[in-house]
Structure 1
């Protein structure tokens, strides 16, 4: 392989080989939900990292199919980044699933509270207090 092709392959692989993962606020939010038992685990990050040792495995596991093909083509060099890609992609999938789950739970509880207010089972002061409790329960930080 010519040096020019090798250099192009390295630049392409470094630019496309890694999944983006979560930013620091999202990581903290997911950690918070995990600690409170609210996290949804669709993908195991450890499995994503382990599969990253196989050609494109971490990226394919993390639903990053384009990256998976690139990592497949650059295997065994992709072993340097694909375990990280698999781990990060798994965490990102879990974050999105957790956010949707938590939002749905929060919406359900607020709707029940709205129904109680509408049926005059509670007054506005009780409604406000209970709504704050719900928001505190489901808000990450």
Structure 2
């Protein structure tokens, strides 16, 4: 019974992975953020992959403690998938942090432009042009 459970657990882990990486659209979007200097890097994907060689290290680094414990229990076999989990998890964290940073920056620029308009420092045409520029800058 224990042997069957272990084999089933291993099959699930090998086919599903532990951390969900970015899909192709998110990867393209993140690369565009990087190219425009708007990407945030909270976690280093290479570090996540290297820590995946240690028992559960990649998953713990990618803020997946439950998978970290599971990978710790299946070490050294988890070396087959945990480096990718650490890498993918780090990329997902960076993507989400970048999206939050962009939202916050966009909102701050819009508020400043609105204050300037309300204070009479800029006219209606300048305000409209500024809002379009902000939208263009932060849309991916």
TM-score, reference length from structure 1: 0.91
Q: Which moved more, 1:3-12 or 1:70-79?
A: 3-12
Deviations 1:2-58 (A, max 9, x none): 652442231342366420111222111111111111111110000000000111100
Tell me, which stretches of 5 or more residues in structure 2 are unaligned? none
RMSD of Structure 2 on Structure 1 (CA): 1.7
TM-score, reference length from structure 2: 0.91
Tell me, which stretches of 5 or more residues in structure 1 are unaligned? none
Matches within 5 A, 1:23-42: 23-42=23-42
| CA shift for structure 1 position 115 | 0.6
Distance in 1, matches of 2:132 and 2:26, equals: 23
What is residue 53 of structure 2 aligned with on the other side? 53
Q: Runs (4+) of structure 1 moved beyond 4 Å?
A: none
Matches within 5 A, 1:111-126: 111-126=111-126
| SS of alignment partner, residue 126 of structure 2 | helix
Are the counterparts in 2 of residues 39 and 94 from structure 1 also a CA contact under 8 Å? Answer: yes
